Structure 1
């Protein structure tokens, strides 16, 4: 299904599940889509939640913005416009990876619409997470690591792309995200079914200082219950990244997985979410 935003863009979403708790899923990337999460989790979570799967503007099945209108506030407004479109008063938000930035900013801007948050392998500081990727990537490549200056975003991203390209050349990039290469192949098969994100979306995010702010500072403003899920072998965000979060009410669950626990450890992922909903969403 699609809804049209206030600036005229058609955004793709799906609603499924028989549960009574509305729950919005925000995918990562930046520039990925919601289909793989829906594929693995719609059944397990559907009894407890009314799941809303959204492809962010410019991502997946949603329309691309010719004007490259991909600012943080525009993406946040899309979420609020979707909530109004669906007639939902309050919802739980799950943010994976880059989706954590959207979840936290939305919760700060619209606190009365959020009942709680689940942050799964989520980054709230892309400088920190990208540094983690470069450190882990340098170790994989056998390169000596030296600290990268974060004062200049272009210089920082040049260094990042340099290590990233070497990992891709050696077919080793997957090691930052997956423990089990077969699970990556499962996700790749789903992505071949129609993933068509706008390359300009990721370029915009990776060149915009607004997305590279330290959003852990916003976390202390959120007084709703928060479940943080981290994969112990996640080298894309960092298994200890959550230690910089400052939520007032936070439960942390460390799972045996890489960056995608809903694929690599779906049983444990499902259980900690349902336990959280049972104990905190009353």
Structure 2
């Protein structure tokens, strides 16, 4: 992997690149996570494509000035500036969880810059979907764990111990198999980014007015069979708005498809990239 720091919109973003071919930019979850989540699981895609990963504002190894006001619009602006800095005309975006929201939000504003969208652990198109995600997760917790969740959530901004306990409390509900948790590596997390963007997602996130921009884009949604928002939910609340989207269920997986079923995710991604490439050229078995 080639590592670089790029000055983007007055911020220093940490990036990693590998491979040649069609460019694919990976958007990590959170808000507040890091690109480490994708590695090494998605690295095999670099055999056929140019894969580009970056830590979002103030996340992972990326830097930001103190007092920065995190927002969806700022992250869209940073992604567009990154595309320009890398001299890419069009890109495929691979968004995971919150990254799926960022991918859709960017595509709604810059549809002409999108080749394809690949989304996993999708969280939908509106604040109602985001709230449904939180409510479904909350329902899985018993009373005692709900009390602990409230306490750890209040104190995690000030205590690293509380932050770890909060993560340990929630992690089992993100996976299909508890064995998966032994493979999960600890990553740095920007709780301020989560707080700012989380509030925006809860109140002001709505891509329904942008369906005309999104509707013509090739989109693959790979949703875990046991995700917090199930494939059935995505079918009902997302796919019906996106006529050019394909929904695939990733079996034996929760929210963290990349961690639980990395081989399946690599295969699904490669197949979608190649099939849509053939379709756009008007050749191959999918051409009509």
State if a TM-score over 0.5 links the two structures: yes
**Cα separation, 2, equivalents of 1:40 and 1:229:** 15
> 1:162 matched to which residue of 2?
150
Aligned positions of 1:231-250 closer than 5 A: 231-235=224-228, 237-243=229-235, 244-245=237-238, 246-250=241-245
**Cα separation, 2, equivalents of 1:186 and 1:281:** 33
The answer to whether the aligner puts 1:276 opposite 2:268 as a matched pair is no
1:205 to 197, 201, 226: 197
Q: 1:176 to 1:138 in 2, by over 3 A?
A: same
Shift in Å, 1:36: 2.1
> 1:254 matched to which residue of 2?
249
The answer to whether the aligner puts 1:5 opposite 2:2 as a matched pair is no
Shift in Å, 1:261: 1.2
> 1:15 matched to which residue of 2?
17
**Cα separation, 2, equivalents of 1:90 and 1:169:** 39
**What value does the CA root-mean-square deviation take over the aligned residues?**
2.8
The answer to whether the aligner puts 1:178 opposite 2:175 as a matched pair is yes
Output the TM-score relative to the length of structure 2. 0.80
Shift in Å, 1:252: 0.9
Aligned positions of 1:1-282 closer than 5 A: 1-6=4-9, 8-18=10-20, 20-43=21-44, 45-124=45-124, 125-141=126-142, 162=150, 172-189=169-186, 191=187, 195=188, 197-208=189-200, 212-222=204-214, 223-235=216-228, 237-243=229-235, 244-245=237-238, 246-256=241-251, 257-282=253-278
- Structure 2, unmatched stretches of 5+, are 155-164, 279-288
**Cα separation, 1, equivalents of 2:108 and 2:206:** 14
- Structure 1, unmatched stretches of 5+, are 144-157
Question: How many residue pairs end up in the alignment?
Answer: 258
Shift in Å, 1:63: 0.6
Q: 1:211 to 1:94 in 2, by over 3 A?
A: farther
Q: 1:14 to 1:139 in 2, by over 3 A?
A: closer
Output the TM-score relative to the length of structure 1. 0.81
Shift in Å, 1:250: 1.0
